[in-house]
Amino acid sequence: MLAQQLVNALSLGGVYALFALGFTLIFGVLDVINLAHGAIFMLGAYAALQAVLLLKLPLPAAIVVAILVAALAGLLLDRFIFAPLRARNAPHLAPMIATIGLAISINSAVQGIFGAENLRFPVDALPAEAFQMGTIRVTLIELQIIFLSILLMVALLWGLKRTRVGVALRAIAESPKAAALLGIDVEKLFGVTAVIASILGGVAGVLIALYSNALFPTMGQPMLHKGIAVVILGGMGDIRGAMLGGLFLGFAEVFAVAYIGSTMRDAVAFGLLFAILLLRPQGLFGQAAQRRA
Amino acid sequence: MEWLDSFWSIYSTLVLSMGTNILLALSIYFTLSCGLLTVANAAFMGIGAYAAALLTLNAGAPFSLALLAGTLLPAAVALLLGPPTLRLSGVYLAMATLAFGEVVRITILNAEGLTGGALGLNGIEQLTHVGHVAGAVLVALFLSLRAAKSRLGRAFAAICQDETATELMGVHVRAYQLCAFTCGAALAGLAGALNAHFTFFISPNEYGFERGVEILAMGVLGGTGSPWGAVIGAVVITLLPELLRGLGYFRPLINGLILVIIILYSPKGLWDLLRGARRTAVATR
């Protein structure tokens, strides 16, 4: 029972972490609370579904389609919303309100095209295998979700640490002005960040759609709440914090449902968040000095 | 006066919701104008709505008492919540108030015996008349316009510009912020109490994240430079969906895009844009 819950928690937490990574990356580098991240998450899921239904692609190829769609969404988001607002030197909240409008538009467009009802992947598109290890039953999908989320997280960490783009991004997160003085093309890297973050969000969307096999136009909304909770748990703009926070929330939720009751699921997440903010505003894993205004 | 009757029978709900939206926009104007990004207004609105509705439904209390309770209870909650929460700044404060909002929503959801849980409260007597809403809006607007020009408003503006410098000038920043937070909560609660008594029905989901975001959008869209900004933001956000009614399915799509475009072309809010236009008109004359 306990081991079984651990597997559930790990796959759910992995998806939360992926989603929150994109959210925190945009906050850390662009200093924007991107409330359209949930809509891009949903777009990723729908793109994969349409790739399976219309183009008859196998699942891995469908995930690639989702990545392309999410990347395009991220590019357009930065190009047509964040960049003009930066150029106008807009006040802090303006981009956030713009992403609200964008999220409304994307959700309504998807609802207009595909309908408001729940959609699902056809049964034969999903791997049906499951492994029995003692008393634990793990489905192949769960394993793939865990594998893919860990792979992406490791890739992101490695990229931020070892690649030129990653180093530049970290420099921008510290101070965009100083980074620009050092010859970093800050504008271009803002765009790169939006693309990477959106890819993470889009893949998280596909994974949650595979996990629960239910897609609907507003599926990004509850995820956005959780993403915010995770990012606060880990400290705003903190990459490792987002990963640990995501896993933490996944565990907290799965165990709350298993041992307290399903009505308490969201109460646990937000009650915890509220308590942490009052006691440790820099996040569970942050250091006081890193706190951003 | 026949046209007025027919106008009223079609648009009364719209006018009343515009009124409560103006109150909500003013409630977030208070906190935004002193540099606090809080998104708990939807929760305060919910507390006010439930307090007032429970009083008239269960205790048969007069409407005036219900409105008073709907205003004071959220204010009291804000007074308790403020001191620990307002230590946070920027996005942390936003997230803490967001989490508080979720806690309120989930509490209402789970206190089924009192609040009806997810089913909400039904059959609330329709007591709100246009006079109540108009009166509340006028008083709130008058007070906030007066406040904006007074010591209080100047202190808010100073805190918004630079918190540390204001503190060093001997202004008790935390006390002013607590005042703004509490006033905002009272206004949001009043809006909730009025709203509950013309929609017959309230449920916890009306006071969740989406509502909080909508209130924030009204405040920022209008601009935080003046209470008039809040009024303009509330009017635009209330009217947009109505004006786009003919678009059917894709109405929210256009609605969202208009929000984006307004922000792109007037990031400091519509009030700023209007004032700017007026200034240019005077200059070219």
Would the CB atoms of B263 and A228 count as touching at under 8 Å? no
Averaging pLDDT over each range in A271-285, B4-18, B218-232, which range is the top one?
B218-232
Lowest mean pLDDT among A78-87, A266-275, B99-108, B259-268: A266-275
pLDDT computed for residue B57 by the predictor: 86
pLDDT computed for residue B14 by the predictor: 85
Interface predicted TM-score (ipTM): 0.84
Lowest mean pLDDT among A183-187, B100-104, B127-131, B137-141: B127-131
pLDDT computed for residue A287 by the predictor: 53
Contacts of A106 in chain B (CB under 8 A): 256
pLDDT computed for residue A283 by the predictor: 64
pLDDT computed for residue A292 by the predictor: 41
Helices A220-234 and A265-279, axial angle in degrees (round to 10)? 30
pLDDT at residue B284 greater than cutoff 70: no
Q: Which residue of A has its CA nearest to B84?
A: A278
Pick the residue of B32, B91, B255 with the most A CBs within 10 A to test the interface with A by mutation: B91
Residues of B contacting chain A (CB within 8 angstroms): 37, 84-85, 87-92, 94-96, 98-100, 102-103, 106-107, 109-110, 209-210, 213, 216-217, 220-221, 249-260, 263-264, 267-268
pLDDT computed for residue A284 by the predictor: 63
Average pLDDT of the segment spanning B125-148 = 87
Averaging pLDDT over each range in A199-203, A284-288, B10-14, B131-135, which range is the top one?
A199-203
Q: Which residue of A has its CA nearest to B247?
A: A112
pLDDT computed for residue A290 by the predictor: 43
pLDDT at residue B147 greater than cutoff 60: yes
Gap from B211 CA to chain A (nearest CA, Å):
12
- What is the helix (H) or strand (E) element at residue A209, kind and residue range? helix A186-212
Would the CB atoms of A277 and B221 count as touching at under 8 Å? no
Gap from B103 CA to chain A (nearest CA, Å):
6
Contacts of A81 in chain B (CB under 8 A): 260, 264
Would the CB atoms of B95 and A273 count as touching at under 8 Å? yes
What is the residue-averaged pLDDT of chain B?
A: 85
**How far apart, in Å, are the Cα atoms of A273 and each of A282, B92, B213, B236?**
12, 11, 19, 34
pLDDT computed for residue A274 by the predictor: 75
Cα(B123)–Cα(B201) distance, rounded to whole angstroms? 6
B163-199 pLDDT, tens digit per residue, is: 888 888 888 888 888 999 999 999 999 999 999 998 8
| Burial status of residue B254 (CB atoms within 10 A of its CB: 0-12, 13-18, 19 or more) | middle
Contacts of B33 in chain A (CB under 8 A): none
Distance of CA A247 to the CA centre of its chain: 13
**Direct distance between the N- and C-terminal alpha carbons of chain B, in angstroms, rounded to an integer:** 41
Spell out the SS3 assignment of A144-169. Answer: HHHHHHHHHHHHHHHHHHHCHHHHHH
pLDDT-flagged residues of chain A (< 50): 288-293
pLDDT computed for residue A286 by the predictor: 57
Q: Which residue of A has its CA nearest to B260?
A: A98
- Please give the residue that has the higher pLDDT: either B96 or A39: A39
pLDDT computed for residue B142 by the predictor: 92
Would the CB atoms of B259 and A112 count as touching at under 8 Å? no
Average pLDDT of the segment spanning B114-130 = 82
Nearest beta carbon to residue B96 from set A93, A231, A277: A277
Distance of CA A91 to the CA centre of its chain: 25
As a residue count, chain A comes to 293
Burial B236-245 (b: 16+ CB within 10 A, else e): bbbebeeebe
Cα(B280)–Cα(A61) distance, rounded to whole angstroms? 56
Check residue A130 and report its DSSP letter. Answer: E
pLDDT at residue B238 greater than cutoff 80: yes
Q: Assess contact for B56 and B66: CB atoms under 8 A.
A: yes
Pick the residue of A276, A277, A280, A291 with the most B CBs within 10 A to test the interface with B by mutation: A277
Nearest beta carbon to residue B92 from set A97, A100, A281: A281
pLDDT computed for residue A61 by the predictor: 93
pLDDT at residue B214 greater than cutoff 70: yes
Q: Is the pTM higher than 0.90?
A: no
